[in-house]
Amino acid sequence: MFSKEWFIYVFGRWVFLSGIAGALLQYGLADKLGIHTIPAFLLNQFLLACVFWYVDRYIFQRHFSRVKDIFKFPRVKGSFDFQHQFDKISEEFSEYSTDFQKAPDDPQVWVHRFLDLSHAIEMTERVLREKGIDVDQEYYAIVSKNRQRGLYS
């Protein structure tokens, strides 16, 4: 939790930018423009929120780009259950396997089938999320276990 990034974010973004900018804006609104304290504070917060919406969006887009790109394919129309998704993954894997066996060293032969399989897996994740399954908890458990095994650099 207390990483270098955390300190930069807390002190750079919150204390320095928000704190100092908020104090200066409050001083300008209340003391210089004569706006009463509470309305000046509310206006202060609104103006800072308008600015920091873009700052935070930039920070988290860069830092958590995986979240932004979680789904590459559009949602397939319809209502699907786990059995349907399992059958679809099995079908797509069989087609991918068949094409891969034809030319393992030539991705142009099997890349389309690979992406079809990826789409089926992604759709299954959507169905899990729509049914209330905490996919992120499982994802982080896998990452944690693999990190303990030394699988990541």
Query: DSSP for 45-73?
Result: HHHHHHHHHHHHHHHHHHHTHHHHTS--S
Average pLDDT, stretch 7-26? 84
pLDDT for 68 beyond 70: no
- The rounded Cα 99 to chain-centroid distance in angstroms is 33
Question: Which of the pair, 114 or 1, is modelled with greater confidence?
Answer: 114
pLDDT single digits (tens) 32-66:
999 999 999 999 999 988 888 887 777 776 555 55
**Is residue 152 within 8 Å of residue 146, measured between CB atoms?**
yes
Percentage of the residues of the chain whose pLDDT score is greater than 90 = 58
Rounded to the nearest integer, the mean pLDDT of the chain is 88
Cα 20 from Cα 26, distance rounded (Å): 10
Average pLDDT, stretch 138-146? 92
pLDDT for 27 beyond 90: yes
Q: What is the pLDDT of residue 62?
A: 58
The span from the first CA to the last CA of the chain, in angstroms, equals 19
Q: What is the pTM of this model?
A: 0.55
Q: With CA atoms as reference, report the closest residue to 131 among 123, 139, 121.
A: 123
**Is residue 112 within 8 Å of residue 95, measured between CB atoms?**
no
Instruction: Supply 149's token pair.
Output: 């095994």
Average pLDDT, stretch 64-92? 83
pLDDT for 101 beyond 60: yes
Cα 16 from Cα 5, distance rounded (Å): 15
